[in-house]
Each structure stands twice: as C-alpha cells, then as structure tokens.
Structure 1
C-alpha cells in the first residue's frame, strides 16, 4: 500500500477521495443535528435526511453508467464536486428550512451518484500497473476510517464552531477534490469512439449494458450474492445502535469504544482482503466472508449472555468480529467487478452494482425497524445472521458450467475455477 501512495497519480486520487468523503461525513452529521434541533418532528426529518442521502444513488446509479462509458471521467468527477460546492454553500441560506435542506441533500446525493460511478470506473486507469485488490483495500480502509473520524470531527465542530462555518468547510473539501482530480491527465482520456456505448442511443446502451454485464458468470454470481448481504447490512446498520444503547445499555464511553472496535474490525477486514484474494478465488472468498458475517451476527446470542457475566469485553469482541465480517466482503466484491467487467461496459456495470447495493441496503434499513419492532432488536440481528448462513451455504454449492457437466470434475464452479484446498 505504501508503494501506491508513492505513486503521484494515485496519491492525488486518494487525497481527492479523502477530501470528498470527509465532506460527506461532516455534512451528514451536521444536517442530522440541524433538522433534529430545529424542527418539532426530529425523528421524521432525521429519517428523511438519511433517505435523501442514499436514495439518489439507488435510483440513478444504473442510469449514470452509460454516461460514464461515453464521457471522460474528469468531467463527471469535477462537475459533481463543483455542483456540491454550490449546494453546500446554498445550505447556509436555507438552514432554517428543513424541507429545503432535504431538497438540497437530494441534489447533493445526485452529485454523489455521478461521482461514485465515475470514480470506481476510473480505478483501473489510475492504478496502472499496481494491484487492484491492494488499491481497493487502501480505499476501503480509508473509507472506514473516515466513517469513524468524520462524524466525530463534525460533532467537535458543532460543539466549538457554528453551522455556517461547517457548511463552508464542507464546500472547501469538495473544491479541493475538484482541483486534485482536475489535475490528473489520465482522467481526461475519452472512451474509445468505436465502443458500443458511444455508437448506441442512450436507452439502447443502457439495455445492452445490463445484458452484457449479466452475461458474465462471475458478475451474475456477484449480483445474487449482493442481495442477501446488502439486505442484512442495512438491517444491521439500523439496529446496531439500538442494540448497543438500549439493549446492552452502554454509556457514552463504552458506546464509543464499541463503535471504534466495529470500525477497527472493518478496517482489518479491508487490509487482509488483498492477501486472501491472491490466495483464493473470489467466489470462495465471497462465500467465506458472507458466512463469517452471518456467524458474527448469530454470535450476538452468546455475546449477550457473556455480557451479563463478564461485562463489556464480550460486547467489544462481538463488535470487532462483526466489523471484520462487514469489511472483508467488500474487497473481493470490488475486485471481481473491476477485473471481470469488459472495459466498454465498466461504467454501466459499476452503476448497476451501485444501484443494486444501495437499493437493497435501503430495503434492509426499512425492514430492520419493522423486524425489530416485531420480534426484538437482538432477535432481528440474530435471525438475519441465520439467513446469511443459509444463503452462504447455498452459494457455496459448486455450479458446474454446461461443458463440465458429465466430466466427473466435482471441483469446478461456475467460473471454471477449482475449490481451494
């Protein structure tokens, strides 16, 4: 990973992503604080802010893909950053109107949908001769770190600063990202004029892109894999805080430690991912990670019993294991996507994957509250872990291609790879 950061091109990309994502994290906590303290219906408006941040990527993700296959990544990345500069500054003027803040949040989410599709699509060009799994791991570990640091920094700024200054800082992070990305010559490359996505009308390019992506066996498997994982991840995200604060009844400091251990586990999962990708096939690493995450959630039952006997250590260990499972699967997912997507379909494939992940995460968030209300918070987490174990076991069954049927080779899976020994 150090070698990647010594690469000037990748370093600028990494710093731009850090700035942009830090701005997102600070804005999220600030918007939640503003609508929670300036309205008479805080629960409703906090929920609307969260949905407004996620929904554009889910709704628009697949539709941005054809544009990422037609236009230089530089224009999409810099344009989305500059748009979010204007939107962050506009939030200052409407900070007393929750509905206008939510509208601007939706528009900012649209900008992020364009940014994320173009950013991921450009990774193979930015990484160059370096290892894609290592680049993915560095990004994922950075992202998990920002998810820990960003809200804490936002809370600190709210305590010692003012909301206007925070929105100005947010705009500055997007401006910094735009300057760094705009200076990268590799992002100015125009997709080959003979590519199918450039010759076809937009809607036909969208349809052929979806068909082309799903014709790749490993990507079909990835699509099936993501459905149960993202549903459970959304449910878990909804219920984790309730579990820690209301069921385990943790105080402020233990609650902070628990979240830190969860984030540390996610970072650890991202860091060990590249070594495992080099040693095992992506299919089997994906299955192993879904089984690990499911097992971690099921282990909430004994962790709760141990908490009553030995105290906080049992909860912290459970958070670390759950974080490891949630962070590990992201490396083989991204590696499979970037390795197996044909270059001419990369934008459409990334957009489709983003839409799939976000939409099922949102469904999981909605289901999490309903299920927790019906059977209890801990019980809903344990049940979702059991579902993942069943799904992982089903996905672990080798699927032999038609040419291999009758060959007597039980170790061939759907991608033609062997089960690692």
Structure 2
C-alpha cells in the first residue's frame, strides 16, 4: 500500500528494523496492538458480566458477537470516513470516542440495555479506524516494507488476542468487569495520545479522477462497491480472500463436536482452535520476512492450495486412524500446516493495495473486510447446519474440498489480470495508483 516509487523487482525482503525505522509506523502499530488487546479484554469482561446478570448463554454469546456486527452491516459505509476526512483525525477521533464510551460502560450498575447500546456505539468506530489505519500504512511505508509490516501486524493481532483473552480472565478473577472495562478505556486513550504525537498532519486524500468530487456517504459507499465489483483484478483478489476465509474458518464453528469425535476430551477444544492461527503466525514470519517479493508472489497459489488442502486432509483423518490421541495430534499438525498456507493473505494484501488509488483505499477496505466477515459468518452457519446432519469430520473434509474447487475461478482470474511490469515504466511501480488500474484487505 504505497504511493512511493519502489519497483516490484526488489530482490530482498525488507527487515523488521527497516519497518520500525519509519517513525509514523510505530504509533500505527502500537495503536493496533493496544486496541486489539483492549477489545478482546472487553469482550471477555462484557460476556461474563451479561451472563452473571442474566444467566443466559444466548445473551452472553450475542454480546460477544455484537462487536462484529458493525463491520458486516456498516463497514462499507463507515469506512468512507477514511477517504472523506484527514486520516489522522479519523484515527484520533475514533480512539477518543471509544475511550469515553468504554469508560461510561464501566460505571457500576449501568442498565443492561444501555450497556449493550454503548457496546454497539463503540463497535461503530472500528470500521473507520481500521480503514484509516490500513490506508495510512500504505502512505507511510514504501516498497516491500508494507508487505513485511502486513505480516507483522497479522502476527501481532493474533498474539494480542491471546493476551487480551488471558488478561481479561486474570482481571475478572482478581477484580471485576468494570475494572477490565476501565483498562480497555485506558488503551484507547493512550492510543489517541500516541497517534496525535506521532502522525503527520496530512489533508484528506486528494480526488484526482474527473467527476470524482466528494459526494454523500451513500454516493461514496456506492463508489467503493462499484470500484471493487467493477475491476476484474480486485474482484479476483477479494474472491480468493473470501473463499479462503469461508472454507478455512468454517471448522472453527464445530470445534467442540469435532474434538469429541476425535477423542473424549472436551478441554482439548482450545488446542484445536489454536492450531490454525499458530500456523498462520509462523507462516506470516516465513513469507513476510524471509521470502523475496518475487518469490512471495509465485507462492500465492501453492499457499492457497496448502491452506484449503490442509483442511481437507484434516477432515479425512478419521477414515485412516482410529479415534484417540494419535488422530487428534495428526489433525492438529494438519491444521497447523493449513495455517502456514494462510500466509497467502500477505501477497493478496499487497496486490490489493497496488490496485487501489490512495483516495479510494478507505472505501475499498470497508468493502473487502465486510465481505470477509460475511464469508466467515456464512461458512460458520453452513458448518453448523452440516454437523447436525453428518459427522463433524465429514463437514471439515467437505469444507476443504469445496473450497479447493471454488477458489479455482478467482485464482485463474487473478493470474489473467496480473500487471506486467515493464522496466522503468512508472505505471507499473509497486503501489502506484495506476498499477493494475482503479480496480486490500
């Protein structure tokens, strides 16, 4: 995601030191880390708080899910703020608003309906914040630094989720849900101060296309949808992303019955859920940090196949091995391998950014991420329905097999629409607005 002239023929990947040497990346990275830890901490605290008050597992689950809802229904609309306003203001304003709202949620005795309403309001600031942060990263990181930063951010996000969940449980055991919420509010406040001190004051993204003067939110939203839907290369990129997300993450929805099918140990469900993200974290380091850019691009298709093929093989394990510890361990290894393939998101992310002009990136991110959440949700629902009809392992195998078939079309389209770099041609400079046409996530 860069508008700076760095050629796609760069032979060596950037280093972490080069990424962190960019002064504006540090607050962008730090705010992401703080926000992710705080969000997961708050989800745990609110879920426990609602369950304590209502003794309803359904309401607790809905509370956990509310924070994801705005991305699905409002992501393409709210993300337009990142293209209409200076991006540093969107970031700082979102964090200040969330700090105030979460602090209000921590007031003891807050009525449950008001608590849920405040949670919804807090969640509404996530799409514009993430769209602005992702778009601004493209503006401040040149060349391969963006790809390495993408892998680093993904790895950090998964680690931060684990920290947030663990910290939330610790605080709840030692203190109370309001204390956890106050800590969450503090993370947003610190993030706002850090961003204010560390980011340059840039104007709103310039709209250089003829007839593309700023319109209403609806017009900008429709423009973002048309941009993604109307550009063959962007359609191919999000197609691969959405298909992979839908079929790779579907088994998570049936992790509990699948664990019980593999071995009689319900407590091992957490291991089953952690295997794929662990592989993704390792794959992110290997592909993002140690693979040269050209090799990273060539590995895209093998990584996608590895990602979905690992899920397929994991579902077939009960056909080969008897129920027990051995079969469970083999499944864990295969899910870890599938997670390694999840590093395909790094070259996909870079390709997306190169195909979207800076002034459109907020809207394009909103569409891509909203579709990502929708695909994951649909995959989870289908897996749950399937597990009521057949064995969980059969559902997992079908997820991998159907995914491998479904991803063929967008992969072929992605290959057909690949830009052909010409030495010295600025139209093919990585990350320039013209690279690939006005066609990440």
Answer yes or no: is the 8 Å Cα contact 1:197–1:345 preserved in 2. no
Does 2:215 align with 1:212?
no
| Structure 2 length-normalised TM | 0.82
Matched, 1:322 2:338: yes
Aligned pairs (5 A) from 1:195-234 = 197-234=212-249
CA apart distance, 1:120: 0.9
CA contact (8 A) 2:105 2:115 kept: yes
CA RMSD across the alignment? 2.7
- Alignment partner of 1:139 is 2:153: yes
The separation in 2 between residues aligned to 1:387 and 1:355, in whole angstroms, is 22
Contact preservation (8 Å) 1:234, 1:362: no
Distance 2:150 2:322 in 1: 36
Measured in 2, the distance between the counterparts of 1:150 and 1:385 equals 30
Q: Counting helix residues as a fraction of each chain, which structure ranks higher?
A: 1
Pairwise CA distance, 1:364: 2.2
- Render the CA deviation track for 1:198-247: whole Å, top value 9, x for unaligned: 44444333333332333433212113223322322452331234423665
Helix, strand or coil: the match of 1:271?
helix
Pick from 398, 403, 406: which aligns with 1:383?
A: 398
CA distance 1:365–1:258, shift in 2 (3 Å): closer
| Alignment correspondent of 1:88 | 102
Greater displacement, 164-173 / 103-112: 103-112
Q: Distance in 1 between matches of 2:61 and 2:198?
A: 38
Q: Aligned partners of 1:338, 1:376: CA distance in 2, in Å?
A: 40
Shift of 1:311: 5.9
The corresponding residue for 2:312 is: 298
Name the residue aligned to 2:363. 348
Aligned-pair CA distance for 1:57:
0.9
2:256·2:266 contact (CA, 8 Å) conserved in 1? Answer: no
For residue 172 of structure 1, what is the aligned residue in structure 2? 186
Corresponding residue number in structure 2 for 1:28: 43
Calculate the TM-score normalised by the size of structure 1.
Answer: 0.86
Offset of 1:267 from its aligned partner? 0.4
| Count of residue pairs the alignment pairs up | 402
Give the match for residue 115 of structure 2.
101
The 1-side partners of 2:309 and 2:117 are apart by 40
**Equivalent residues in 2 for 1:158-169, closer than 5 Å:** 158-169=172-183
Unpaired runs of 5+ residues, structure 2, are 1-15, 422-441
Deviations 1:147-174 (A, max 9, x none): 2222122112222222121111000011
Is 1:118 aligned with 2:132? Answer: yes
Tell me the alpha carbon deviations over residues 315-373 of structure 1, each in whole angstroms, 9 at most, x when there is no partner.
43133223323x31321232122121112211211111111112222222332322222
Question: Higher relative contact order at CA 8 Å, sep ≥6: structure 1 or structure 2?
Answer: 2
**8 Å CA contact retained: 1:266, 1:324:** yes
Residues 144, 266 of structure 1: 8 Å contact kept: no
Assess if the C-alpha contact under 8 Å between 1:307 and 1:314 holds in 2.
no
Distance 1:46 1:105, change over 3 A: same
Contact 2:303 2:343 in 1 (8 A): yes
Q: Is the 8 A contact 1:295 1:389 kept in 2?
A: yes
Q: Tell me how far apart the structure 1 counterparts of residues 327 and 375 of structure 2 sit (CA, whole Å).
A: 35
The separation in 2 between residues aligned to 1:91 and 1:123, in whole angstroms, is: 31
1:413 aligns with 2:429: no
